[in-house]
Amino acid sequence: MSPLWFPYAQMQTMPPPLNIKSAQGVKLKTENGRELIDAISSWWCVIHGYNHPKINAAIDKQLKKFAHIMLGGLTHNAAEKLAEELVRITPKGLDYVFFADSGSVGMEVAMKMAVQYWKNNSSKDGTVKKYRFASLYKGYHGDTTGVMSISDPKEGMHHLFKGYLPWQYFINPPIGFTDLAGCNASLNKMENLFKMHAEEIAAFVCEPLLQGAGGFNFYPPEFLRGIRELCNKYNVLWIADEVATGFGRTGNMFAVEQAAKGKTKIIPDIMVLGKGLTAGYLGLSATLATEKIYNSFLGNAYEKAFMHGPTFMGNALACSAALASIQIFERENYLEKIAKINKILTDELLNFKAKGVKECRVLGACGVIETENESDHNGIQEFAAKRGVWLRPFLKVVYTTPPYIITESELRKVCKTMKDFFIQKETSKTESRFRKTETFRGDGEPILNKKR
Ligand SMILES: Cc1ncc(COP(=O)(O)O)c(C=O)c1O
């Protein structure tokens, strides 16, 4: 028995995981020599594929100087340069960068920043009431305590941690990229919430356009415009969680860019990046803030300073990987590659129909088959692996978020494999031949990869 404890898995029943010996480009190679196209970019982060020579070289070069130094009282060129680069490439107005080591912690940083912002701005009597958050059902922001509390209450399994998690406010998101009626309804709900409770809400938090681990719901850019207006009107900060959407996944470098109307840009007060930031090489997140936020932490009083400082923040190897990744993204025109991926996904998936398939949808470099029931995709992971494709379905979604370097034929193979599973199920009764990779939720309900 291996002592290794795996995520989101019932260790008693988990089938043996595939042991990966090497990885190159979009392909993972198992110890048995089997090659798998990684159709989900190792949880949506390996945007340039594995073992990229330029990122390897950048890390190597940094390693010869040092791997890590603390940012407490010291600094280094890679962190300084990366902060500058992130300010340059993100929407104008996000001018300050705080590094941490994962998306979850980057989001915790954002939440603490919002709470402390209001505290720093509060009147002398120090009565601070803004310490709650509002967010969206179907959202996912990570697995640490604060961000669990703002993730979807059901999928985030709030019942398991009842009494431990703080409670927060939730509203329903629009369902679908063109759901304008839902968009208006959600904004009305949000306005009602703010009318009643804005004085205790520090910030509204959402994943812009694409709610990933909560079930790959897309919603219209108009919703982001509405959020910005309501947050301004009711004095609530807006935190955009671009951990999954940042670096091209929705078709633009950052999803919030799609909400721009003419010359009017829609800028969150705080924006968080992770995952693709280092192209999946090393743990790193960046929490970016506007001048308004940053300035509120200035003053003579030490307590006004931002009270956070993870050991590995701004790790030099991670920053070097991120700098190389941004350079590759821009020099090799990745937005064009993403547009091509989008075309192929649209062509392959959008009109796909089969028994058990509720809907197919595509946004940017992200293609989703939503099933009627969670059990409708039982067995697809093994089915795909046998055909050389690595998938990880969860909830009711089978999806691909491929590395952007994927070739047309590789991507068509991924899509064909996803579709073939449902087609062969229709034409034969082979479903039971495939082992169910069941895990069990705390309440005993059998599930298949409940979480991402
Ligand atoms: C939108 C979003 N925010 C935050 C996180 C948490 O990031 P990490 O897993 O690096 O802690 C994730 C991870 O899937 C995510 O999708």
Q: Whose CA is nearest to atom 2 of ligand 1?
A: 141
pLDDT higher at 151 or 446: 151
CA of 4 to the centre of ligand 1 (A): 22
pLDDT per residue as tens digits for the range 309-321: 999 999 999 999 9
Same domain, 67 and 202: yes
What gap in Å lies between CA 295 and CA 171, rounded to an integer?
31
Which residue in the block uniquely carries the two structure tokens 């937005």? 335
Residues 213 and 326 in one domain: yes
Please name the residue whose Cα sits nearest to atom 8 of ligand 1. Answer: 103
Q: Residue 99 maps to which CATH number? A: 3.40.640.10
For the ranges 255-259, 324-328, 447-451, the lowest mean pLDDT is seen at 447-451
422 and 342 together in one domain: yes
Whether 300 and 404 share a structural domain: no
Question: What is the DSSP pairing of strand 94-100 with strand 132-136?
Answer: unpaired
CATH number at residue 385: 3.90.1150.10
The pLDDT, as a whole number, for residue 233 is 98
Percent of the chain at pLDDT > 70 equals 94
Judgement on whether residues 299 and 378 belong to the same structural domain of the protein? no
* Claim to verify: residue 96 and residue 176 sit in the same structural domain: yes
Torsion of CA 137, 254, 107, 7, to 10 degrees: 70
Confidence label for 128 from pLDDT (cuts 50, 70 and 90): confident
Residue 3 falls inside a structural domain: no
Q: Is the pLDDT of residue 17 over 70?
A: yes
Q: Which residues line ligand 1 (CB under 6 A)?
A: 102-104, 107, 140-142, 207, 212-213, 241, 243-244, 274, 452
Residue 429's pLDDT band (boundaries 50, 70, 90)?
A: low
Strands of the sheet containing 27-30, edge to edge, are 20-24, 27-30, 35-38, 389-390
Of all protein residues, the one whose alpha carbon is nearest to atom 7 of ligand 1 is 103
Atom of ligand 1 nearest to the CA of 102: 10
Q: What is the pLDDT of residue 297?
A: 97
Angstrom distance (rounded) from CA 346 to CA 360: 9
Q: Are residues 389 and 241 part of one domain?
A: no
- Write out the residue range of the structural domain in which residue 425 sits: 333-435
Strand segments, DSSP code E, in 101-241 are 132-136, 169-171, 201-206, 210-211, 217-218, 237-241
Is residue 370 within 8 A of residue 357, CB to CB? The reply is yes
- 47 DSSP assignment: T
Q: Which tokens go with 283?
A: 């743990």
In the chain, % of residues over pLDDT 90: 89
Distance CA 64, CA 261 (A): 46
Tally the domains of the chain.
Answer: 2
Examine the residue annotation and report whether 8 is marked as an active-site residue of this protein: yes
- Domain-located, residue 276: yes
Check whether residue 169 and residue 297 sit in a common domain: yes
Calculate how far, in angstroms, residue 138's C-alpha sits from the geometric centre of ligand 1. 14
Q: What is the pLDDT of residue 125?
A: 61
For residue 245, the ligand 1 atom closest to its alpha carbon is: 1
Q: Do 139 and 152 contact (CB within 8 A), yes or no?
A: yes
Q: What is the H or E stretch that residue 337 is in?
A: helix 334-349
Last residue of a domain, one of 311, 331, 351: 331
Which pLDDT band, with edges at 50, 70 and 90, does 367 fall under?
very high
Domain end, chosen from 331, 347, 380, is at 331
